[in-house]
Amino acid sequence: MFEGRFEYTLDEKNRVSIPARFREILARHYDMNLILTNLDGCIVAYPKREWEIIKENISKLPSLKKEARTFLRFYFSGVCECAIDRLGRILLPQSLRTYANIVKDVVIIGMNKKIEIWSKEKWNEVVKEATSDMEKVMDIVSELGL
């Protein structure tokens, strides 16, 4: 599925290229549309089929707690369907760019069945946090069996 890290710059129309490797996966296993939303300080892009599975799973849940409903309002309010253009780019909507603090430089990472789009500054913070306590990192690595 989606793996790797790629750095890009938004163009003057706020479009960003989707990595060629990811476009190949999308073409081979999915249609070329992505569903974007806001989550965890970044923009999350799901192939449309994966997004449909998420929606189906959410709809099967019993009555949700107030906190869950509040989160889902936020999550679903950010949804935007984006087609990949013939040059492999998508337009990042203003509301999602604002949420993720994306101005110019972005980092696109593969996260198995989804793609995350981070501002370069926020991504650097994530990396710093993830590697700040190597003993804790090694415990997590061990738990995951890596």
- Mean pLDDT of successive 10-residue segments in the chain (146 residues)? 97 97 95 92 96 91 81 92 95 97 98 97 94 82 81
Q: Which pLDDT does position 122 carry in this prediction?
A: 97
Tokens of 79: 């949804």
SS3 annotation, 82-112: EECCCCCEEECCHHHHHHCCCCCEEEEEEEE
Q: Which pLDDT does position 141 carry in this prediction?
A: 78
Residue-number span of the structural domain to which 67 is assigned? 5-121
Show the CA angle centred on residue 41, arms to residues 38 and 45, nearest 5°: 40
In a domain, 131, yes or no: no
Confirm if 16 and 106 have CB atoms less than 8 A apart. yes
Q: What is the CATH number of the domain that holds 37?
A: 3.40.1550.20
In a domain, 134, yes or no: no
In a domain, 18, yes or no: yes
Q: Which pLDDT does position 140 carry in this prediction?
A: 79
pTM: 0.90
